Structure 1
Amino acid sequence: MTIASNRGDFVRFALEQGVLRFGEFKVKSGRISPYFFNAGLFNSGLSVGRLAEFYAQALVDSGIEFDMLFGPAYKGIPLSTATATALARHPALSGRDVPFAFNRKEAKDHGEGGVLVGAPLQGKVVIIDDVITAGTSVRESVDIIRQAGAEPVAVLIALDRMERAGRDGELSEHSAVQDVQRTYGMPVVSIASLTDIMSVLEADATLAEYREAVQAYRARYGI
């Protein structure tokens, strides 16, 4: 499977699952977006299992050296768990058993205590999440990983919207993904991006009605 086909296949999978939809949606920024991506709708065993395979393939394709995964609470918890499972089955890793860990929102004051669950944070750590909006969970994750003496080496997400923040006329120079890369000096790997969504729109006649709106949105807010 080529990298391009993996990215296009993911967009089509997200459409099939109703995770990616086209229309008019008011998003967190207040903008009216012609598409909406809600990774929380990957909510069954089969869909999360397939999602994890896409995450695993994107990480393998990136060529990044890593020792373990870290999933920020809450969405990163099932993502890190499922992706570690998919990596263990990935032919390129030859049966390698990839550890993972995640954090609690509140420290536990009994039992083993603390905010961390799972394998000890050590070596080169990939942070896994669904999307990057403000970069808050990345900042918190980087702090946790570094405090443990480990090294954050990349962020792995499902979709890069390739979109600048801010109000019209006051748009930021970079996207949230670019800001994370510049701030922490590490790559953000996405299974797919807005470019891949547009490629699928161009190739699928049944989606032709949405092409112009998505193109216009990207021209206005995209990087």
Structure 2
Amino acid sequence: MPVSELIRRYDQLILDLDGCVWIGDEPTAGAVEAIAALREARKGVAFVTNNPRLPSEDYVAKLWGLGVKASLGDVVTVGAAMQHLLAETRSGRTAFVIGTAALVDHVAAAGLKPLNGTDRASQAEVVVVGGTDRLSYDDLREATLAVRGGADFLATSRDPTYPMPDGMWPGGGALLAAVEVASERQAAIVGKPEPQLLLTALERLGGGDTLVIGDRLDADVAAAGRAGLDA
């Protein structure tokens, strides 16, 4: 697959995963071949995702499973970004997490004590909201009580949906909206459209003209604009 004239202008590319490299467990049409062509043309390639459901290692394994070679250093996840931020600013505090086990692990690795499953959950000092397939009313209640009680309120993204083979599924932003409405507060966002994921990927890639490729104007393109990158 030849590299287009547009791509030749750039030294490196940052690619979104969900909806760009894959949908569900299948690669998007031509994605594997396009990434191989980029590397053959000696273009730097990094991957970013607003999806906190899996640990970084699982995203790397998924890329390999699709035929795309990648290392941990090539993949920047919003879960890892959340861990970095919490470790720098809120280590030692208690937390309540709406999210998968991977996101809970990131919060714990940042030095916070998750109170999920305890009778003190509603007293958490930090509430973190991310995407999950297992959401209960109790989760919404505990998060709402904690946020209304003054907890710091953070979320991985506002993405309302994410693409799957049978259509668009509710994303972390849909879950976040319920907590924001009930608590009458807005969360601070760590993932796209905030620029940090792209800036971290850029730091790993090194200097050079960079193009961001994604599937959401309100997340990928907006984040690129805030990071000062083309998209």
TM-score of the two chains, using structure 1 as the length reference? 0.42
